[in-house]
Chain A
Amino acid sequence: MKRRADLAFRVLATGTLIVALITLAALVLDVLADGAGRLSWRFLTSLASRRPEDAGIYHALAGSVWVIVITAALALPLGVAAAIYLEEYGTNSRLARFIEINIANLAAVPSIIYGLLGLGVFVRFMGMGRSVMAGACTLALLALPVVILSTREALRTVPKSIREGSYALGATKWQTIWHQVLPVAVPGILTGLILSLSRAIGETAPLITIGALTYIPFAPDGVWSPFTVLPIQIFNWVSRPQAAFKENAAAGILVLLALLLMMNAAAVFLRDRFQRQGRS
């Protein structure tokens, strides 16, 4: 009986996995069939155009890279610092518990709400306008809960014996965290960061809300420049009536997928490197 239940569970689990993989493969193949023909160096380096055969993705690709780099630069230090406070310093204080509940809730908030917040706070109140900076700040808010939660998880898995070893040598709390705990936690922190950035790079709604442009004829030249990003450009092309723009959209999706894969590969590479550093 027990063995049969075990077998049934294995069949179920494998079946679920296969369904998921087939769905993904079908999607990718479909997009490949539509868009592979449009992929070329020219497509990557050309700006938007009204003529689909001239239109490229450069402005949106550059916009995405700008936004995601600044998002990472904001979310990483803020998220790690918040996690250190909650995990190491604020344990059981009323303030820490209050913040914790809020972070758990924030992780579940729909992204368009972040867009409205970004519009109110960054674009209007802080006067950033419809800039790369405003977009990155908004996405950083979106990424923060995941960065904080995964950093706390990573800090928690650092063995107590390492902390004790450090304290026993006359290290202060901060020295212990900075020299011993954080280095051990780096792989976990990076994984969380890249996961949250992967989500952020695919976001459309909050950026449209804060006024990222759906049509823009140039790439951003700084953090205060107006911008667009890949998903918005793809959305723009999909909504055009001409069939040729649909091909552009498919090619754009391929570029976005490639960017995501590269980020995930970088995460795996960095994680392995840091883990090896600890071992060898």
Chain B
Amino acid sequence: MSPAPPPLSPLARIAARSGAPSVPDTPVKVEAAQLNFYYGQKRALDGISIQIRTRLVTAFIGPSGCGKSTFLRTLNRMNDIIPGTRVEGRVLVDGQDIYGAHVDVVALRRQVGMVFQKSNPFPKSIFENVAYGLRINGMARTRAELSERVEESLRQAAIFDEVKDRLHESALALSGGQQQRLCIARALAIRPEILLMDEPASALDPIATQRIEELIYDLKKTYTIVIVTHNMQQAARVSDCTAFFWLGRLVEYDRTDRMFTAPAEKLTEDYVTGRCG
């Protein structure tokens, strides 16, 4: 006779659910373990543990300043360039600790691409924006290969048809939504495995937003996508799993449909129904 399982503490219950049976069990791509993050003396992330699965869209939701963007930026060590920041705990990508002693940050960022909240095309031509990553990483040996990869990336980001006749004009002449898709094309060009998106549609109108969301839906066949969003409907529409952050803590992490219909935590329920946050 096997003994009955011991009763779980509230915190352990969250932890149990984080690895939860309800999260689809494709292989783990990114894993954080007891991650703390500090801006100077101020603790911005407090003991984050999460397992992000391969080829799913995972959404981070939560009120402003809850740490979701900060956590996203720890996944490709983008916070390294902010002076006075400090990380404790571990982040594993494909089982490798990316804060380990001999990690090549440049190689990490090639593997973990990023799209920012405000579209940030380089003040160069559309072609050069996409070609830059290929050039600096030595990923195209000939001119023909370079243009081929640029075209392929623009197609993947569903922007090629709109810009094919003006590849050599400035990227700054594009509309906001086009600029953001160009930035996605630029990130895809170097063939990352993981794509981090920090509120990629927050500055866009509804139609441009819809295009980005459709794009995310296509891209998850190939990439593991993590998206930070303020917009609850967006999280519900595009993501498979959702993680809810509150004051630097991960409150709950589950399948998106469960998070929005039957969350385990009262706080999550209050937030997704708009009663707080």
Contacts and interface: CB of A to CB of B under 8 A. Distances in A.
Contact of B136 (A163, A164, A171, A279): A171
B146 to A, nearest CB: 15
Interface string A140-184: 000000000000000000010111111111111001000110011
- Interface size class on chain A is 20 to 34
B83 A91 contact: yes
Contacts of B68: none
A241 interface: no
The main secondary structure of chain A at its interface with chain B is: helix
Contacts of A280: 169-170, 173
Contacts, number: 74
Contacts of B136: 169-172, 175, 179
B181 interface: no
Nearest to B80: A167
B78 A164 contact: yes
A170 B190 contact: yes
A165 B120 contact: yes
Interface stretch (B58-66, B109-117, B246-254, B263-271): B109-117
Interface in B133-160: 133, 136-137
A280 B123 CA distance: 9
Contacts of A167: 78, 81, 109
Nearest to A276: B170
Nearest to B111: A170
A110 B181 CA distance: 55
Given A161-B116, A280-B169, A169 B81 contact: no
8 contacts: A161-B116, A165-B121, A168-B116, A169-B133, A170-B136, A170-B137, A172-B136, A278-B124
5 cross-chain pairs, A with B, having the tightest CB-CB distances, nearest first: A170-B110, A161-B120, A278-B123, A169-B133, A168-B114
Given A163-B81, A168-B187, 11 more contacts: A91-B83, A167-B81, A168-B109, A169-B137, A170-B133, A170-B137, A175-B136, A184-B123, A278-B170, A278-B172, A280-B170
